[in-house]
Structure 1
Amino acid sequence: MIENKEISALFHLIDDPDEEVYSTVSDKLISFGKDIIPNLEDLWENTTNEEIQERIESLIHKLHFRDLTEDFIHWKNNDGSLLQGAILIARYHYPEMQTTQVLQEIEKLRRNIWLELNRYLTPLEQITVFTSILYNYYKQQGVEIAYEHPEDFLINKTLETKKGNAISNGIIYLILCEILDIPVKAINLPRQFILAHFDPQFEMIESVAHNSEKILFYIDPLNGQIYSHKDVENYFKRISVPPTNSYFKPMDNKRVIQFLLEELSKCFDDDRNRYKMQELLSLVTLLDE
């Protein structure tokens, strides 16, 4: 903990009913950075006033969020991996989380899949092996998107419980493909989070009439089911939307993380938590700046 007379004086003003005074005190305390968190936690434990406790919790949250924002700037500026981006989002909800367990689980999955792959397998055979290990051997389950369950969107809880929605399962799938150098990318199909296995030479393919021509087949990350071009054509007919080129363009890591932030923010669309929604959407904007 930081020993500082100024901090002690500020703590005596933390319950000031004047919002302007409290705002000044709050800004000053936040300026000390995350090193002041142990002081705030100690103050929380030694007060019975619920209003003061709520103010302390708010201050701690702001300090964590400021720290997280700086980490997102670093991630963006250094073309961070999808794994690191997903971990940063999980830290929004679990600021004290240790990443070791996440990294160990990903490595365990990577190794199990890698041991079963070989260069003689066709792309479809590769994905069949990959999917079987993830969903049958490892028992990863898919659940429908439910905005009342924010943990379903977070990589640490998805790995821990072996249960995730299409987005969190899909991000784990993409992370493993990124590590194993398998050309699977998320694409921007309307109302879906779907993965596509691109032709291994798709970046070298000359201009084609439609981006879908670079795709071999599609993968539903909810359960690993494989879809053909005909299945996707029928989906567009069913929803009465023309299959424009942009829907088949691969999403980069930044866009996938932005999409996860946007969807997670919908979990906090109520009066009590709307500030969380706004914070998450501010990170989306930050990644575009």
Structure 2
Amino acid sequence: MEANREISALLQLIDDPDEEVFGVIQERIVGYGKPIIPSLENLWENTPDEEIQNRIEMLIHRLHYTDLTEDFRQWSVAGHFDLMVGCLLAAKFQYPDLSTAPVLLEVEKIRRNIWLELNNYLTPLEQIRIVTGILYGYYGLKGTETSAAHLNDFLLPRVLESKKGNQLSNGILYLILCEMLDIPVRAINIPKQFVLAFFKPGYSEELGDDYATKVEFYIEPASGQVFSQKDVESYFKRISVPSVPSYYKPLSNKRVIQHLLEEMAQCFIEEKNSYKKNELLLLASMLD
């Protein structure tokens, strides 16, 4: 009862014009955590003042962000670095009330369709043709140009809804499916691109400088197109960048999600949204 009275009193003070006083009230409200959100939403619905509504929206965002920060911290320290979970956490930055069950069901449906076509006698290229054929042909996934103007193209749940994503989000979905199917496809660190590589049997992340020799071929994930080492070397010549061994080292799932957060941050370049850019970069830095 005492807590309810304090919450009621705090909510009545949200319109205090003194920024210093509001700062104290804000911290007290955030200290109550997510359970206070329904009260804030109810207050928003019954507040005609747009400025006060903005204050309430920022409070709700702070509460969600605080919760998300803890979820990312736990994901990071748990050590599993599940790519699907990392993607869903990233999407919750923009859609905090996201329901994850439909996403999991949709990905499982695609995985099963691919699995039914696979067998132990297929070559690496045949395996990838099946993955690509199901994902881009049967399922109908399309690739879009990577653009900071289209945040939803980075977010797995929205990509599955619209069946279109950019090179990064399509690539992450491709990685998730290959991981579920035990197909040795990993993201690699090619400059200015998000490229996947099919690694030969027996490759190890302790290979030192020998990664490129363990790659069967490469996959461009916006379209699923396969290309060769020669094509990669041509790309390096075109952008006038020397091909160094570290570019072929597989990226960890942690680094992939970090990269996703960094790219999402570039979608918030307007001054009024700069706090969101900073928050995403802070989440990314947590994964170092």
Deviation at 1:163, TM superposition (A): 0.3
- Deviation per CA, 1:108-147, whole angstroms, max 9, x where unpaired? 0000000000000011110011101100110000000110
Shift in Å, 1:208: 6.8
CA distance in 2, matches of 1:237, 1:259: 24
Q: Where does residue 73 of structure 1 map in the other structure?
A: 73
Corresponding position of 2:95: 94
The answer for the alignment partner of 1:109 in structure 2 is 110
Distance change (3 Å), C-alpha of 1:146 and 1:207: closer
What is the 5 A alignment of 1:140-151? 140-151=141-152
2:158 partner amino acid: K
CA contact (8 A) 2:159 2:169 kept: yes
Cα deviation digits, residues 250-273 of structure 1 (max 9, x gap): 001000000000000000011010
Aligned to 2:26: 26
Q: Confirm or deny that 1:175 pairs with 2:166.
A: no
1:102 deviation in Å?
0.4
Match of 1:212 in 2: 212
Give the fraction of aligned pairs with identical amino acids, expressed as a percent.
57
- Distance in 2 (CA, whole Å) between partners of 1:41 and 1:274 is 24
1:229-288 CA distances to partner (integer Å, 9 max, x unpaired)? Answer: 110011111111100011100001000000000000000011010100000000011112
Q: How large is the RMSD of aligned CA atoms in angstroms? A: 1.3
Q: Distance in 2 between matches of 1:107 and 1:68?
A: 25
1:37 maps to a residue whose letter is I
Match of 2:83 in 1: 82
Q: Which amino acid is the alignment partner of residue 11 of structure 2? A: F
Tell me the distance in 2 between the aligned counterparts of 1:95 and 1:84: 14
2:137 match: 136
Q: How many residues are paired up?
A: 286
> Which amino acid letter does the alignment assign opposite residue 9 of structure 1?
A
Q: Report SS of the residue matched to 2:72.
A: helix
The answer to whether the 8 Å contact 2:209/2:246 transfers is no
- Aligned equivalents of 1:155 and 1:24: distance in 2? 37
Task: Give the CA deviation at 1:217.
Answer: 0.3
Partner of 1:252: 252
8 Å CA contact retained: 2:110, 2:135 = yes
Distance in 2, matches of 1:63 and 1:87, equals: 18
CA distance in 1 between partners of 2:7 and 2:116 (Å): 56
CA distance in 2, matches of 1:176, 1:207: 25
CA–CA distance in structure 2, aligned partners of residues 149 and 49 of structure 1: 30
The alignment's TM-score, normalised by the length of structure 1, stands at 0.97
Q: Distance in 2 between matches of 1:57 and 1:168?
A: 28
List per-residue Cα deviations over 1:166-210 (Å, max 9, x = no partner): 000000000001111110000010110000001121129x85753
SS in 2 for 1:167: helix
* Alpha-carbon distance in structure 1 between the residues aligned to 2:139 and 2:12: 53
Secondary structure of the residue that 1:92 maps to in structure 2? helix
Matching of residues 203-242 of structure 1 within 5 Å: 203=204, 207=207, 210-242=210-242
One-letter amino acid of the counterpart of residue 7, structure 1: I
1:49-103 CA distance string (max 9 Å, x none): 1111000000000000001011001111112300000000001110001001100
Letter in 2 for 1:61: H
The one-letter code sitting in structure 2 at the alignment partner of 1:114 is: W
List alignment gaps of at least 5 residues for structure 2.
none
Scaled by the length of structure 2, what TM-score is found? 0.97
- 2-structure distance, mates of 1:75, 1:208: 28
Q: Is the 8 A contact 2:153 2:169 kept in 1?
A: yes
1:14-40 deviations in whole A, cap 9, x for unaligned? Answer: 111111100000000000000000000
Q: What residue number does 1:59 align with?
A: 59
- Distance, in Å, in 1 between the alignment partners of 2:201 and 2:75 is 27
The structure 1 segments of at least 4 consecutive aligned residues displaced by more than 3 Å after TM superposition are 206-210
Find the aligned partners of 1:141 and 1:282 in 2 and give their Cα distance: 31
How far apart in 1 are the matches of 2:237 and 2:69?
Answer: 41
In 1, Cα distance between the equivalents of 2:253 and 2:225? 23
